Structure 1
Amino acid sequence: MREFTLIRAETGEAAVSALTAHPDARLIAGGTNLVDLMKEGVETPTHLIDINGLGDLDRIEARADGSLMIGALTSNSSVAWNADIQSRFPMISEAILAGATTQLRNMATMGGNLLQKNRCFYYPDHNARCNKREPGSGCDAMYGVNRMCAVLGTSDQCIAAHPSDVCVALRALDAIVHVKGVEGHRVIEFADFHKLPGGTPHVEFDLAHDELITGIEVPGLPFAGNSTYLKVRDRTSYAFALVSIAAALKLDGDTVDDVRLAVGSVGTVPWRSEGAEDVMRGAPATPETFAKAADIFFEEAKPREGNGFKIGLAKRAIVRVIETLKERTT
């Protein structure tokens, strides 16, 4: 790990000023991802700006309209065990509890979770080519070990899959990211926050260097109480997903009235298909309908040699999850 200077910011304004003053600075809260990358020499900030003193960002506000505001410094554990979240948005709680370990969830923050680096096998390996780590160097994952890589949203520059669990749930719920920077406060639709690799896979977020995340707004979704998160992985403890499903379902008798569906670890960003949701709305709540939606979800998939199995696995998982929500409703 290279030498760095630690700056403790007590206000959001101080954090923004420190970022502006130091082009190679990084914010640190829990540090559960950043510190590992610093140890591996992938991240080499000259300054770390400790924002744990920003106490106003450690909160969960449940609003009368059914929405939530989650402060960026709120720990994953606090969110997972919050009673309002467990009752109104169980998929968020379940997604967090499916990830990492208790110790990591106690340290990791919600804002930091949004900024997780994609966990490609080649990203931390300085002997491998990786356009995300070193733009223009190439991508060894294309024809190498790509079992955990993405099949949706890929480019000829990068096929790394997005690793977060809770981001899949937040994508399904149309969350909104609040940030503060030199230009003031702005909001970013969750669908736009994580950027597709395209020709610039090293540009992963719609976030300027001088901006920090202040909160995550989850709009009120009346039927989100009937939601769940399923994580399919190689082992049940401390493993990234092969595929994961976040879904919410509302029925009108035997017909799908409304639905939300996002799938994780199959896309370079948390992936949601409006086409798959649309084919279910107004259709019979049957396995055939759910299977048709799953097919549509992966219409544009581009598998590589090692990760094509994800498509069939995810399709079966989609049907299983929505069938489970249907049974809970009836």
Structure 2
Amino acid sequence: MNRFDYVRATTVADALRAKASDSRSRFIAGGTNLLDLMKYDVERPTTVVDITHLPLTDIEDGPDGSLRIGALVSNSRLAYDARVQERFPLLSSAILAGASAQLRNAASTGGNLLQRTRCYYFYDTGTPCNKREPGTGCPAIEGVNRIHAILGTSDKCIATHPSDMCVALAALGATVRVEGPSGERSIAFADFHRLPGDTPQVESTLKPDEIIVSVDLPAADYGPHHTYLKLRDRQSYAFALVSVAAALKMDGGTVAEARIALGGVAHKPWRDESAEALLVGRAAGVDAFAAVADHILAPAVGRSENAFKIGLARKAIIRALSQAAAGTPQSQVDKRVQ
């Protein structure tokens, strides 16, 4: 691990000033991702700016049933907050599907959005990687790619975004509120993370001189008709091969509204609103769900070791929508697929 300076910020303005004074500085809160990256020599900040003392730890109710989540709210606190469990149970379930209890206690809301890929080549500084060093290549394309993306890839990168929480936030239509030298702005969650394109090293639309201050959730009313289904190599402490966040509004046996987002399949949480529209007004059932799955996965591209993800994702989408329609969400305690 390289030597670095340490600065503790107590206000957002302090944090922004510290960041502006050193282009190679990094914010740190829980550190559950940054410290790993520093140990592996992937990140080499010259200054680490501690933001844990910023006043961003509140969960606030909006007048219309919305919720504002401070960037420093821990994953554990968010998952177990009574308002989240009652009004946004999909988010609670997704958080509890991820990491371990110890990591959830440390990890922050803002940090979860910014965690970086778990690609083997990205973490191995002895191999080329366009995300670490643009222009050096993506060895995963022809190499070990079992965990890699099948949607939204480019010839520069096929890495996946690792977050579970972000998949639920994508389905719920969240907004990310950020602050920088030019003031405050809001970014629709769908626009926050980027596909790799020709610049896979640029992972979000957050500017280098900005900081996340909150995540805002619009009011939701899906009741029990939601699920977060995560398929992985082992039942605990493993990243998703494929995950599905699904939420439905039902009118009897007919779908009135649908939200579907996938994790483990792309460089960002994958939501296809045109696929959601296919369900509206249709009777809930395997045929309708299969048509949606086929629509979502039509552009999927499998490679030497990850082509199985296409079939796995199709089955996961159908199963998740079946769970949501029946009002029997996947348990994150008993992880056996229902």
Alignment of structure 1 residues 206-225 onto 2, 5 Å: 206-223=205-222
Deviation for aligned residue 1:61: 1.3
Name the counterpart of 2:32.
32
Structure 1 ranges of 4+ moved more than 6 A: none
Question: Cα gap change, 1:147/1:224 in structure 2, threshold over 3 Å: closer, same or farther?
Answer: farther
> Partners of 1:2 and 1:64 in 2: how far apart?
47
Deviations 1:44-83 (A, max 9, x none): 00000000111x2001112231211000000000001011
Deviation for aligned residue 1:274: 1.1
> Partners of 1:121 and 1:299 in 2: how far apart?
27
> Partners of 1:249 and 1:209 in 2: how far apart?
37
**What SS class does the counterpart of residue 156 from structure 1 fall into?**
coil
TM-score with structure 2 setting the length = 0.95
Question: Cα gap change, 1:137/1:95 in structure 2, threshold over 3 Å: closer, same or farther?
Answer: same
Deviations 1:194-230 (A, max 9, x none): 0111000000111111110000001112226532211
**What SS class does the counterpart of residue 57 from structure 1 fall into?**
coil
> Partners of 2:271 and 2:199 in 1: how far apart?
22
Which structure 1 segments of 5+ residues have no match? none
AA matched with 1:268: H
Name the counterpart of 2:265.
266
Report whether the alignment pairs 1:282 with 2:281: yes
Name the counterpart of 1:9.
9
Alignment of structure 1 residues 47-58 onto 2, 5 Å: 47-54=47-54, 56-58=55-57
Name the counterpart of 1:120.
119
> Partners of 2:286 and 2:196 in 1: how far apart?
34
- Is this contact kept in 1: 2:226–2:323, CA < 8 A? no
Name the counterpart of 1:64.
63
Name the counterpart of 1:328.
327
- Is this contact kept in 1: 2:221–2:249, CA < 8 A? no
- Is this contact kept in 1: 2:224–2:327, CA < 8 A? no
AA matched with 1:27: F
Deviation for aligned residue 1:254: 2.0
**What SS class does the counterpart of residue 171 from structure 1 fall into?**
helix
- Is this contact kept in 1: 2:195–2:267, CA < 8 A? yes
Name the counterpart of 2:187.
188
> Partners of 1:72 and 1:221 in 2: how far apart?
20
> Partners of 2:235 and 2:298 in 1: how far apart?
29
Deviations 1:257-289 (A, max 9, x none): 111000100111100011211111111111100
> Partners of 1:91 and 1:224 in 2: how far apart?
10
AA matched with 2:111: G
Name the counterpart of 1:248.
247
Deviation for aligned residue 1:97: 0.7
> Partners of 2:97 and 2:250 in 1: how far apart?
27
AA matched with 1:155: S
Alignment of structure 1 residues 150-165 onto 2, 5 Å: 150-165=149-164
Name the counterpart of 1:311.
310
> Partners of 1:128 and 1:62 in 2: how far apart?
47
> Partners of 2:323 and 2:151 in 1: how far apart?
25
> Partners of 1:64 and 1:2 in 2: how far apart?
47
AA matched with 1:130: C
- Is this contact kept in 2: 1:87–1:225, CA < 8 A? no
Which structure 2 segments of 5+ residues have no match? 329-338
> Partners of 2:227 and 2:68 in 1: how far apart?
20
> Partners of 1:31 and 1:225 in 2: how far apart?
34
CA RMSD of superposed structures (Å): 1.0
> Partners of 2:223 and 2:127 in 1: how far apart?
43
> Partners of 1:301 and 1:272 in 2: how far apart?
13
> Partners of 1:269 and 1:240 in 2: how far apart?
14
Deviation for aligned residue 1:323: 1.0
Moved more, 219-228 or 295-304: 219-228
- Is this contact kept in 2: 1:89–1:227, CA < 8 A? no
> Partners of 2:289 and 2:224 in 1: how far apart?
20
Alignment of structure 1 residues 225-240 onto 2, 5 Å: 226-240=225-239
- Is this contact kept in 2: 1:88–1:225, CA < 8 A? no
Alignment of structure 1 residues 50-129 onto 2, 5 Å: 50-54=50-54, 56-129=55-128
**What SS class does the counterpart of residue 136 from structure 2 fall into?**
coil
- Is this contact kept in 2: 1:89–1:225, CA < 8 A? no
Deviations 1:276-324 (A, max 9, x none): 1111111111110000000001111111111111111111111111111
- Is this contact kept in 2: 1:59–1:71, CA < 8 A? yes
- Is this contact kept in 1: 2:225–2:326, CA < 8 A? no
> Partners of 2:312 and 2:240 in 1: how far apart?
12
- Is this contact kept in 2: 1:52–1:73, CA < 8 A? yes
